[in-house]
Amino acid sequence: MAQKISGVFAVLAASATLFAVNVNAADSTLNKVKKQGYVQCGVSAGLPGFSNPNAKGQWEGLDVEFCQAVAAATLGDKTKVKYIPLTAKERFTALQSGEIDILSRNTTWTLHRDTALGLNFTGVNYYDGQGFMVKKDMGIKSAKELDGAAVCVQSGTTTELNLADYFRVNGMKYKPVVFDTAPQTSKGFDSGRCDALTTDQSGLYALRLNLKDPTSAVVLPEIISKEPLGPVVRQGDDQWFNIVRWTLFTMINAEEFNVTSANVEQLKKDSKDPNIRRLIGLDGPKGKGLGLNDDWGFQIIKQVGNYGESFHRTVGLGSPLNIERGLNALWNNGGIQYAPPIR
């Protein structure tokens, strides 16, 4: 018994030490990022609109721009990012082990991931939901007609789990055809290994673009799940958690107050709007609470832009994906994107 109790104390003492180390500024993620000179950002290996290397080999997409925003806030330079492409299966281990500082990779916020893996979700940068895509010549109009179908799906995702739930609940059978990466999954579908492909709806639009003949596939109307996607950090470093979360809130608030990469310089000179002045660090709490320079918000908006600008050029109507804002419109414009006030 005595031994057991001392064992418990040993564990408590060890975790107290761990905690002490975590809150020690010298060992904080912010300090590490400053020392190494860049943010290590885990992204998907290739998903158009979210994170994808372009023809010049530069990473592009909504999740990529979010990493750039964190680099602008913390290092004053959006280019100081090292991208680490990760499959769905690899992504959480990479964050747990410290190989990356942020996971910014179409990752769904769930109870298990937020609590049991030593990780924290910082917010939602894209509200998504799971759907299905089928070959047009199959001639079906609803996912309810998929009984007996072979379904291409990516491993290590919520997609796999929702797929099983959906078919069970609807009393239907299916044959999973499982792949490790998005390109493999869409190739599997393209080459006829399966009747349907399932993933987040944004992913369906992205993968359809890469089919030999994109018009040969149709997206079915059913959305079978909630997939709130957002940036993730390790548990135990509240300062870094706050930096990442308020980077997202700054981008969303900037859209709400019509502050853009194009007008922020001028607004810094002459804006009298107290909301805008706090947003860009002229007044208000500024950078102190986050351990950042006072112009951290200004740098995010100047170098990357507001949430709406980023959405538009990466996944929205200004991009090949052509996705409407839908749930991702601001709260005062028919959607549910809502950020707490900067004051």
Ligand X SMILES: N[C@@H](CCC(=O)N[C@@H](CS)C(=O)NCC(=O)O)C(=O)O
**Cβ atoms 48, 90 nearer than 8 A:** no
Q: Which is nearer to ligand X, 143 or 229 (CB)?
A: 229
Q: Which is nearer to ligand X, 64 or 264 (CB)?
A: 64
Is position 47 an interface residue for ligand X (rule: CB under 6 A)?
yes
Given candidates 32, 46, 117, 236, which one binds ligand X under the rule CB under 6 A? 46
Q: Is 30 in the site for ligand X (CB under 6 A)?
A: no
Residue among 28, 29, 122, 159 that touches ligand X (CB under 6 A): 159
218: Cβ contacts below 8 Å, ≥ 6 apart = 133, 134, 136
Interaction between residue 198 and ligand X (CB under 6 A): no
Site for ligand X in 102-141 (CB under 6 A): 106-108
- Closest to ligand X by CB, 58 vs 333, is 58
Does 154 bind ligand X (CB under 6 A)? Our answer is yes
Structural contact between residues 122 and 29, judged by C-beta atoms closer than 8 angstroms: no
Beta bridge partners of 86: 44
- Nearest residue to the partner ligand X, using Cβ: 203
Token representation of residue 213: 């003949």
* Cα–Cα distance measured from residue 315 to residue 319, given in angstroms and rounded to the nearest whole number: 5
Angle among Cα 210, 327, 106 to the nearest 5 degrees reads 45
Query: Rounded to an integer, what distance in angstroms lies between the CA atom of residue 62 and that of residue 125?
Result: 8
Q: Which of 124, 134, 182, 267 binds ligand X (CB under 6 A)?
A: 182
Contacts of 277 (CB under 8 A, 6+ apart): 271, 283, 284
Residue from 63, 65, 101, 200 in contact with ligand X (CB under 6 A):
200
Distance CA 108, CA 200 (A): 10
Q: Give the residue carrying structure tokens 């995010």.
A: 300
* Region from 56-64, 101-109, 166-174, 297-305 binding ligand X, contact rule CB under 6 A: 101-109
Residue 225 found at the interface with ligand X (CB under 6 A):
no
- Look at the alpha carbons of 87, 93, 96, 97 in this order and tell me if their dihedral is positive or negative: negative
Minimum gap (Å) between residue 95 Cβ and ligand X: 13
Is residue 199 involved in binding ligand X (CB under 6 A)? yes
Rounded to the nearest whole angstrom, what is the least distance from the CB of residue 267 to ligand X in the complex?
36
Q: Does 157 bind ligand X (CB under 6 A)?
A: yes
Distances (CA, A) of 78 to 42, 57, 74, 129, 222: 16, 17, 9, 30, 38
User: Per CB under 6 A, which region of 117-125, 196-204, 284-292, 312-320 contacts ligand X?
Assistant: 196-204
| 68 counts as binding ligand X under rule CB under 6 A | no
Distance CA 61, CA 314 (A): 5
Q: Which of 67, 88, 100, 243 binds ligand X (CB under 6 A)?
A: 88
Q: Which residues make up the interface to ligand X (CB under 6 A)?
A: 44-47, 87-88, 106-108, 154, 157-159, 181-182, 199-200, 203, 227, 229
